[in-house]
Amino acid sequence: MTAQSTLPAAASGRFSIGGDLPVNRLGYGAMQLTGPGVWGDPADPDEAVRVLRRAVELGVDLIDTADSYGPFVSEMLIKKALHPYPEGLVIATKGGFTRAGPGDWRAVGRPEYLRQQCMLSLRHLGLDRIDLYQLHRIDPKVPLEDQLGELVLLQQEGLIRHIGLSEVTVAQIEQSRRLAPIVSVQNLYNLANRSAEDVLRHCEEQNLAFIPWFPMATGELAKPGGPLATAAEQHGASPAQLALAWLLRRSPVMLPIPGTSSVAHVEENIAAAEITLTDAEYQALETAV
The Cα–Cα gap between 76 and 92 comes to 14
The Cα–Cα gap between 28 and 279 comes to 27
Query: How far from 163 is each of 44, 82, 135, CA to CA, in Å?
Result: 32, 23, 8
- Cα 70 to its chain centre, rounded Å, is 16
The contacts of residue 58 (CB under 8 Å, 6+ apart) are: 7, 8, 9, 266, 267, 270
Phi–psi pair at 40, nearest 5 degrees: 80, -170
The Cα–Cα gap between 86 and 82 comes to 8
Name which of 225, 218, 224 is nearest 241 in CA terms. Answer: 218
Work out the number of other CB atoms within 10 angstroms of the CB of residue 104: 12
Give the residue numbers annotated as catalytic, written as ranges.
69
Q: Find residue 64's DSSP bridge partners.
A: 29, 92
Q: How many CA atoms lie within 13 A of 243 on its CB side?
A: 28
Q: State the angle between helix axes of 73-82 and 111-125 in degrees (0 to 180), rounded to the nearest 10.
A: 30
Using the 8-state DSSP alphabet, how is residue 57 labeled? Answer: H
Name which of 57, 79, 51 is nearest 10 in CA terms. Answer: 57
Q: Is there a contact between 254 and 248 (Cβ–Cβ < 8 Å)?
A: yes
Using the 8-state DSSP alphabet, how is residue 126 labeled? Answer: T
